[in-house]
Amino acid sequence: MGMNRRRFVAATLATAGAALVKAPPAAAASSPTYPPAQEVPGAVSAEAVAAAHFPEDFLWGMATAAFQVEGAWREDGKGESIWDRFVHTTGKVKGAATADMACDSYHFYPQDIAILKQLNQKSFRFSISWPRIQPDGTGAANQKGLDHYSRVVDAVLEAGIRPFCTVYHWDLPQGLEDRGGWPNRDLAGYFADYAGILAKHLGDRITVWAPFNMPWSFTWMGYGVGVFPPGRASYRDFLRAAHTVSLAQGEAFRAIKAASSKALVGSAYGMAPAYPKTGSAEDRAAADRYHAMNNVYFLDAAMYGRYPDAFVVPTPYELMGYRAGDDKIMRAPLDWIGFHYYTRRIVSDAGGSAHPGAGASFGTEIEEDTAGRRDPYTRFHAAMPTEGPLTDAGLEIWPRGIYDLVTRISREYNHPIIEITESGCSYLDSPYEKENGHVPDQRRIAFFREELAELARAIQDGARVRAFHAWSLLDNFEWADGYAERYGLTYVDFRDQQRTIKDSGLWYGRVAASNRLEA
């Protein structure tokens, strides 16, 4: 894959950076950075794979997101989302792809859930489309939207699978963007109303909730650099959007719990272990800023009601629209911590030279010329390394990363219950007639096998990981990449919606049944 693609994906999947200086004593005392990148071994031995095993009650799962699979973009009273607007705007998505149909899971969900059941899955992480529930983002609920998800949840439970609901996976009602989008702090209250509606109508059956998928990514990509909707590029808008999301996370936590006493609320953050490029104090500090900004910014907002030290300047409270008392709104001690792992970063200090354009935004991970253009607040450079093999999306395969990430979060947050909310790889394998139409995606099997061996090692070393969700149940609409990437464990022929379970899906089904990797 070319560099453009790599940079784009890096930004899609990652985290961003920012600065600071104050911090929670608990985290500070026990958070050594990782050793320099070159000292960390990447490979996983065959013996480690053979020895790996998972607890009896481990929750094997798969994940999807409403916008990426549902289609039916105007059905049953659904409103327009910012992603609908984006895909219908020329030049935004690769191949001019839309998600108007996607996998048509709005209609095919019974078949999709049957695949989960066939593959012995215990947990299904899906998201709910806000504009199906509140077409303009506020006001009364659309009964047809609620009825749809009620049927989905019933079918999931009927299959013996735990429903895991992501409340927001990026498809903001366009009506709320028209009111200013996430930089408008009123959205925190609207979001809590929406989350409360879901918990009231579905909370008798859904017990596991994550308010936001990858909050850093959609605020940064949407408002900081503009490659996702709504396409703004302003560091101020990014900081404000991020702050509203922190407030919304806390408000939603309380709204969900108020409506459903069974609710267990956690998260679905994007995280990447950040290895310092060299052993220098500057690079180590830069890697810590990456961790603070890209991995735990929203997590600390919830757990401690404050932001971690992500900036090289004092925390820019004014720019983010922070008001006295916001710490109490943000604080929401999560019942468990969920995060995704795809690949690692190598982080270096971006140097001390002055930022050329005061307040302007230059993406930490998608900029072309890091020497001259960097954001003035976090001042780190995060690279996507290429030492290991690359997936078809251009992401480096680094199984060891999940061990380092899980054990660090475990240590820094006092051994919480952890769920891996997503992990996976894009490979373009398709049905092969010489193998009876099977999809022999051996590279995906190898990816999961090595990664899961490292996850098993983290569990052996004491991390309380209770679930792993492979991304994704289906090949689907991969955001600005359209259908040019295939992350599914099931192949989807987008011409006729035919599903074919890939060899990796069959393998993963055996892993789920045996809790072992040599399945």
Dihedral sign (CA 427, 513, 334, 192): positive
**Min CB(170)–ligand FCB separation in Å:** 7
Q: Does 171 bind ligand FCB (CB under 6 A)?
A: no
**Min CB(93)–ligand FCB separation in Å:** 13
**Min CB(16)–ligand FCB separation in Å:** 13
Q: Does 503 bind ligand FCB (CB under 6 A)?
A: no
Site string for ligand FCB, 415-444 (x = CB under 6 A): -------x----------------------
Q: Does 396 bind ligand FCB (CB under 6 A)?
A: no
Q: Does 99 bind ligand FCB (CB under 6 A)?
A: no
Q: Does 288 bind ligand FCB (CB under 6 A)?
A: no
What is the rounded CA–CA span in Å between residue 370 and residue 150? 48
DSSP 200-247: HHHTTT--EEEEEB-HHHHHIIIIII-SSTT----HHHHHHHHHHHHH
**Min CB(214)–ligand FCB separation in Å:** 5
Between 217 and 260, name the residue whose CB sits nearer to ligand FCB. 217
Interface pick for ligand FCB out of 269, 479, 491, 507 (rule CB under 6 A): 479
Q: Does 299 bind ligand FCB (CB under 6 A)?
A: no
Between 13 and 62, name the residue whose CB sits nearer to ligand FCB. 13
Q: What are phi and psi of 488, to 5 degrees?
A: -70, 150
Radius of gyration, CA atoms only, the chain: 21
What is the rounded CA–CA span in Å between residue 457 and residue 375? 37
Interface pick for ligand FCB out of 59, 214, 292, 302 (rule CB under 6 A): 214
The number of CA neighbours under 13 Å toward the Cβ of 47 is 0
Strand, helix or coil for residue 491: strand
Between 216 and 377, name the residue whose CB sits nearer to ligand FCB. 216
Interface pick for ligand FCB out of 471, 491, 507, 508 (rule CB under 6 A): 471
What is the rounded CA–CA span in Å between residue 43 and residue 454? 10
Judge whether 508 and 514 are in contact, CB under 8 Å. no
Q: Both ends of the chain: CA-CA distance in Å?
A: 32
Q: Does 168 bind ligand FCB (CB under 6 A)?
A: no
Peptide bond into 105 cis (omega under 30): no
Q: Where are the alpha helices (DSSP H) in 306-464?
A: 317-320, 326-330, 400-412, 442-460
Q: What are phi and psi of 38, to 5 degrees?
A: -70, -15
Binding piece for ligand FCB, criterion CB under 6 A, among 244-252, 287-295, 471-479, 491-499? 471-479
**Min CB(104)–ligand FCB separation in Å:** 18
The total number of residues shown for the chain amounts to: 519
Judge whether 287 and 380 are in contact, CB under 8 Å. yes
Q: Which residues pair with 449 in a beta bridge?
A: none
Q: What are phi and psi of 178, to 5 degrees?
A: -65, -20
Q: Does 348 bind ligand FCB (CB under 6 A)?
A: no
Interface pick for ligand FCB out of 109, 182, 191, 487 (rule CB under 6 A): 487
What is the rounded CA–CA span in Å between residue 377 and residue 375? 6
**Min CB(471)–ligand FCB separation in Å:** 5
Interface pick for ligand FCB out of 213, 249, 361, 504 (rule CB under 6 A): 213
Q: Does 307 bind ligand FCB (CB under 6 A)?
A: no
Q: Does 66 bind ligand FCB (CB under 6 A)?
A: no
Between 269 and 322, name the residue whose CB sits nearer to ligand FCB. 269
Between 260 and 295, name the residue whose CB sits nearer to ligand FCB. 295
Residues of this chain that interact with ligand FCB (CB under 6 A) are: 12-13, 65, 68, 213-214, 270, 422, 471, 478-479, 487
